[in-house]
Amino acid sequence: MSLLVVGSIAFDSIKTPDTSIEDTLGGSSVYFCLAAGFFAPVRLVGVVGEDFPKEHIRMLEERGIDASGLEVVEGGETFRWSGEYFENMNKRETLSVSLNVLEDFEPKIPDNFRDSEFVFLANAAPSTQLSVLDQVENPKFVMADTMDLWIQTQQADLKDLFKKIDGVVINDDEALLLTDTRNIIEAGKRILDMGPHRVVVKKGEHGALLFTHEKVIPLPAYPLHDVRDPTGAGDSFAGGLMGTLARAGEAEEGNFKGALANAVVVSSYCCEDFGVTRLQRTTSADISRRFEDYKGLLTI
Ligand code: AMP
């Protein structure tokens, strides 16, 4: 079934204790597309500047991504983000953000994307996410990501959004900030009370928790020996999850657990090399192999 993502497309500069790279392809929707593309075709809406290389667009299209909703701003510059990881690769500091073309971006969903059944609202101002939601006709399952900045500056809009969507993916620190509590289980429950009936709290290398009104399900991360760059892990997690749900055509609890396992697997590949490079080299056979391995780890 049809899957739409609206989010950032970026040039990222990333520093870790071992390496640094400049102006590599990134952005929440790029990671999402590469991950979801293993499971279902994806429709992408986003904005780039004239400086954005056409080969990046071709690379996405070769992976079944419909990039016809990509706006290229004449004379504009693509969004740039840079971040640094320290010894604890679970924590990162944003060094700089240049919004550039993202600053005035008002997403316009093309007519032929408005019937999308599965929709992922990647990290953006909640007012922007709400405007996307207004443009899709009758989606079956809508999930959103957010970040500390919007929790601090646009909390009313964020809570309005949460009343209208089915699922939320959020980092543990952000979940605690949003709900003003110190207990992550309590935080997940409070977010459920805000409206969404599926809440996924991500805990980096410590895995994730799925909250429904019936239960709380913990999922470990796939154990990795060499985490080179966790950038995009959250977005590729969301891509694996939404791609699997779109492929199944429904988001019932039975499907959801399998979808979360794919999310864990695909995001683990993302961390094994810088930027999007590891996801680009990953094959569907790699995903299936690691999925079976992960399933085995979960069996008691
Ligand atoms: P993640 O590691 O999953 O949180 O995603 C990292 C990606 O998010 C990077 O590729 C960045 O380009 C992108 N990003 C960082 N900050 C923002 C922002 N304020 N708005 C949109 N995208 C962002």
Tens digit of pLDDT per residue, the chain (300 long)?
Answer: 899 999 999 999 999 999 999 999 999 999 999 999 999 999 999 999 999 999 999 999 999 999 999 999 999 999 999 999 998 888 899 999 999 999 999 999 999 999 999 999 999 999 999 999 999 999 999 999 999 999 999 999 999 999 999 999 999 999 999 999 999 999 999 999 999 999 999 999 999 999 999 999 999 999 999 999 999 999 999 999 999 999 999 998 888 999 999 999 999 999 999 999 999 999 999 999 999 999 999 887
Q: CA angle, corner 183, sides to 174 and 150, nearest 5?
A: 15
Which ligand 1 atom sits nearest the alpha carbon of residue 233?
3
Phi first, then psi, for residue 217 (nearest 5°) are -120, 115
Q: Residue 240 C-alpha to ligand 1 middle, in angstroms?
A: 17
pLDDT of residue 78: 98
At 157, list the tokens.
């809009």
The total number of structural domains in the chain stands at 1
231: amino acid identity, one letter: T
Q: Residue 123 C-alpha to ligand 1 middle, in angstroms?
A: 7
Predicted TM-score (pTM) of the model is: 0.97
**CA-proximal residue: ligand 1, atom 14 (nearest):** 27
Q: Which CATH number is 264's domain given?
A: 3.40.1190.20
Q: Residue 116 C-alpha to ligand 1 middle, in angstroms?
A: 24
At 19, list the tokens.
């390496």
Which ligand 1 atom sits nearest the alpha carbon of residue 231?
2
* Ligand 1 pocket, residue 10 CB under 6 Å: yes
Which are the contacts of 179, defined by CB distance < 8 A and separation ≥ 6? 186, 187, 190, 191
Q: Is the dihedral of CA 65, 220, 16, 77 positive or negative?
A: positive
Q: Is the dihedral of CA 187, 201, 234, 195 positive or negative?
A: negative
Which ligand 1 atom sits nearest the alpha carbon of residue 30?
10
Query: Could you give the count of Cα atoms lying within 13 Å of 238 in the half-sphere of its Cβ?
Result: 36
Nearest to 31 by CA among 14, 51, 49, 50: 14
pLDDT of residue 232: 97
pLDDT of residue 170: 98
* Ligand 1 pocket, residue 123 CB under 6 Å: yes
Q: Whole domain around residue 60: which residue ranges? A: 3-298
CA-CA distance, 49 to 102, in Å (whole number)? 9
Ligand 1 pocket, mutate which of 28, 93, 96 (most atoms under 8 A from CB)? 28
pLDDT of residue 110: 98
Burial class of 226 by CB neighbour count within 10 A (0 to 12, 13 to 18, 19+): exposed
Which are the contacts of 174, defined by CB distance < 8 A and separation ≥ 6? 146, 147, 148, 151
Ligand 1 pocket, mutate which of 85, 99, 120, 123 (most atoms under 8 A from CB)? 123
- 186-205 CB burial, b ≥16 within 10 A, e <16: ebbbbbbebbbebbbbbbbb
**CA-proximal residue: ligand 1, atom 6 (nearest):** 232
Helix/strand/coil percent split, the chain, to 5: 40, 25, 35
* Ligand 1 pocket, residue 46 CB under 6 Å: no
Which ligand 1 atom sits nearest the alpha carbon of residue 11?
12
Q: Are 266 and 241 in contact (CB under 8 A)?
A: no
CA-CA distance, 51 to 245, in Å (whole number)? 34
